[in-house]
Amino acid sequence: MKKVILFFCIFVLFMSFKTTSFVTNAEFAGGFTSMQIDTLFKDKISIRAIVIDKNKVWYGADNSRFGYYDLDKNEKFEDHIYRDTLNLEFRSIAQTSKDIFLLSVGNPALLYSVSKKTQKVKLVYKEINPKVFYDSMQFWNDKEGIAIGDPTEDTFSIIVTRDGGETWTKLLSDKLPTNATGEAAFAASNTNIVIKGNDTWLVSGGKKARVFYSPDKAKTWKVIETPIVQGKEMTGIFTADFYDSKHGFIAGGDYSYTNKKSDNKAFTTNGGLTWQLIGQNMGFGYASCIQYVPGGNGKEIICVGSEGIQYSQNGGENWMQLSTDSKLFTIRFINRNTAIAAGYNKVLRLHFK
């Protein structure tokens, strides 16, 4: 293994009404050496689900709210979805070319489509069950999409659409792998589902931390064990990403011990068939969201979580702290050097150099 030597990190914080910058410089054997943070907006809000739509960043949030930030116009649009007296929390978001989809976590589970053109809202799926809790949602293409939820029986709750989100169908339990007792998923950052082409990976946590793999858009499934910490209610895999169909990364940890840095990161080079721990006692503890850096050859990874913003340029073996902000829940890249991060009371634009 290569050893990466960190010489120093310099953190500088600039704050203003509109923009906050955070710059750090470090020798890190190549890769990014600095980062600037622009605050797009602040509010009393919790955002765990974002999606990039050209010049817009769409988000689902707490208190029945959703909206977008226009990066070209520097303007925010926000609206509420009122449903009786329910206070909805949208932790899952996905898109097609025409619509945004928002899925609430708890009972009843409510899935809405929102027209990108008119912002018209339509309810497209409803599920009532005391155990219902949906965690993540993605689309394979403009017609086919998937959402995953905690088990209401003995398998994951999986709903799919084959008509562009107009209708959704829950897969029968006898067509799915059985979950272990106490095995579920975490709605931390809308990254429990990863899609590359027709390949789909779901990740679990709790009493078991496993990867569920489908090569054919949720028609058949294979279950793979992982070495990620497991066995308790708040342990397991909280987030996953794949650089391509072969190279992937899973992370999480123990939410009760957010600073524990062991058994919480693993990688695959064979499409998720096997997983190997990496970065033991290095970098971050609890991870809310990890994402591969575009154009980074599957070696550069960004994490947000209990240790702020962390960056690896050698596949997760070593990590450099770029920010101490532990209130970010999710992150998505616009391009190699620009990402959007969201979390508790804010949405940020990150510039990597």
pLDDT digit string, tens, across residues 250-287: 999 999 999 999 999 999 999 999 999 999 999 999 99
The sign of the torsion formed by the CA atoms of 270, 272, 277, 283 equals positive
Rounded Cα distance between 190 and 295, Å, is 22
Predicted confidence (pLDDT) per residue in 175-232, tens digit: 999 999 999 999 999 999 999 999 999 999 999 999 999 999 999 999 999 999 999 9
Looking at the predicted structure, is the pLDDT value of residue 23 above 50?
no
Predicted confidence (pLDDT) per residue in 64-98, tens digit: 999 999 999 999 999 999 888 899 999 999 999 99
- Residues 323 and 42 sit within 8 Å (Cβ to Cβ): no
Contacts of 100 (CB under 8 A, 6+ apart): 51, 53, 58, 66, 93, 94, 113, 114, 116
- Is 143 in a helix, a strand, or coil? coil
- Residues 67 and 58 sit within 8 Å (Cβ to Cβ): yes
Of the CA atoms within 13 Å of residue 273, those in its CB half-sphere come to 6
What percentage of the chain exceeds 70 in pLDDT? 92
Tokens at residue 200, please? 């789909």
Give the neighbor-by-neighbor strand order of the sheet with 199-203.
193-196, 199-203, 210-214, 222-225
Read off the pLDDT band of 13 (50, 70, 90): very low
| DSSP-assigned beta bridge partners for residue 37 | 350
Question: For the chain, what is the mean pLDDT?
Answer: 92
- Residues 94 and 111 sit within 8 Å (Cβ to Cβ): no
pTM: 0.91
Looking at the predicted structure, is the pLDDT value of residue 9 above 50?
no
DSSP state at residue 119: -
Of the CA atoms within 13 Å of residue 303, those in its CB half-sphere come to 33
Choose the weakest-confidence range: 14-28, 30-44, 188-202.
14-28
Spell out a b/e string for 258-297, using b for 16 or more CB atoms within 10 Å of the CB, else e: bebbebbbbbbeebbeebebbbeebbbbbbbbbbbbeebe
Residue 34: per-residue pLDDT: 87
